[in-house]
Structure 1
């Protein structure tokens, strides 16, 4: 949804645009030059600071150079092992040498499917040393999705740990264990000379949700990645020490700064296992603090604000970088309530995978307006340009909404095997001095603020972000209609608050389908974050006068349910607090609740705050409750027990 709130200054600017538009001659093919004072401010804000970084040196070479400077420093650690920079470089070199002997080199893509540990980083660096690009796979993803990505990327080799190498789906590829390649001496024979790699070669391929119904691969060269990581070292780490931590899926690029920026600064990377829940992640972060910086989603920051003590929050890090999703001022205020000393600087970072992770940053200070919903996304980072353009790809003045475009060193090569989609989203940059420069059309809507920062407003299309994950409804709709009894499907995001946004899947079926059977069907095709929270059978898809889907006419998830067992538990004081807090309808008492980790933990944190319950108590109540009615019963029991049989936990204590 696009916000329409305008300040008086923005209203004046909009009026000027209207007056100018009336007098404009037919549009020229040349980009329009902005000349008014407030328009000049926009032109100055387009360009991030210039840095003369060497963008032709690939990422693995930078890691190797750091290994020579600090060979004995810890580079990466997990619960079972830690590797020094020397260990990391030597093991990665062995992996690279053996890959080259297998004719894996420049132009190849090697999939990596392993647990989140030190060996994973060895594989990533080793693949890049061989001149190839790595494709990070989520080992918990459905097999059909994994197989699609392997075929689509034309992978011939999968690297994994002992568990996941053996369970690699069959296909025209082989699977090898990382430790087998990384251990011992390289194969006998002459010393292996590794290929020369430039900034234009690919570093990795990341798959994101696709509007065609299938995930699409984004090809990311070293050049833009290295530019972004230099920025991270300069701005996020600076003089701080303590390294970083990886606690999100490596199949998504949000982890890239946590994974590599510490290495380029000679600091350690803490790998937290993928099966750790939010409580275990919080404990690991608190035990290993302080960190130089942490990049995390708004949802993760909200959870840490609930689970850390005030002292732990203060000691966590000197820099918090919030990204991958819209950052609400509500979440910011929640963190400040937990950590009022404001020891850590907080930055809001914006950027899509197609523009090398991050492209703009807003530094949060005392001037932040907590009366608006979202924190601004700031100004472009180094060697990056950002434009706000109208439908004719012409610049708009300050305060006027337009589509965000990104140019500069960060723009990636394109989509793997999708030349038409690449041509549609990656365009010639008419504002750049270099005639070969390109810009990426994001589909996001924003506007320049008078101070030179960008305000994020929403999307031009139906794409949504659910707790940091990009979701194309068309991909979920395709999975729904793949069921033999489903003829039509529509997917949309529902929720009373951004923190509780969830997918609702509406479908038309020839015969009734059990919800459990439908979820099982979807789970074989979609990762957990793409499986709709609500599955609702409807007699027909509503259409508007133009014959298009009328999403506003779809029934709310609660309204599509019957009262059923448990309605009495909902219709009382605690029940009403539960339903109001979670944005659910009392009529949905008998409906199933989502069983995803993200929804469960998010709901538990909301209930903990609403009812003054310890987070673990709230999580237990949610975890025990397959339906809303049962959740209200268990929450009421927990509330009574906690507030009558036990003293309230001291401020900041997690039980």
Structure 2
């Protein structure tokens, strides 16, 4: 095993720095200190720092952005341009000496992402974050990770954060696969788990999603991955994940109840295909609004209940 006894400092960066990076580094370089850094190219690359030797604050499920570097400033801003209170997410704005003047020969893009004049010039990162009461800054993902499915606005970052709460999940990515009425959510996770543990862990992750998120925000499948497709800049290629799921995709093992068997039979009278599992979406299975209306009517008649179309659309899965 290669060792680096003379290495003193390691600077780690990226959207997410893995919590055990510092510990793994110490096995190779016992004398090295590791620091996680965050920021943007438009603000001199790095603007925040977090010493990996520090314990991760309670409630943080990933390495935090930490604190602004010297001569750098950070704001967490709402849609009206006001600073948000502690714990409330908003867009991350970077200020300070490192902020660029703008984009070369692109006044429109400059006006969109930069505002103010030095020394109060700010760069709008397009990232989401929040301040904790102790002044620690948390990175919460991209603002443009919000998607709309079947009329519901869904934060992909919220799905990923929920998956990352499990101690055996190293990294998680949620994407939308498919188009139109057949579009659905799919999550990918990199886990510290033996092969024989994977199915049980996937089931546990799905259970956690169901008790934390509304039904329409729960991925139809969670797939374990060992490596990620990367963009030329070294970031996870979400587009490739959305277009071409890896062969390691594994369905979630989930037993369905006797009641769900009855609903599944009504479902299959309207939509061709294999019997649905508890997490399958009616729309992704080939259903549409008209067929959904018919299913609601049949369920109401079969069970003598008053189920509304709105309730159906809020969670159009078998278990929902």
TM-score (norm. length: structure 1): 0.26
Structure having the higher Rg: 1
Higher strand share: 2
Higher helix share: 1
Q: Which of 1 and 2 has higher RCO (CA within 8 Å, sep 6+)? A: 1
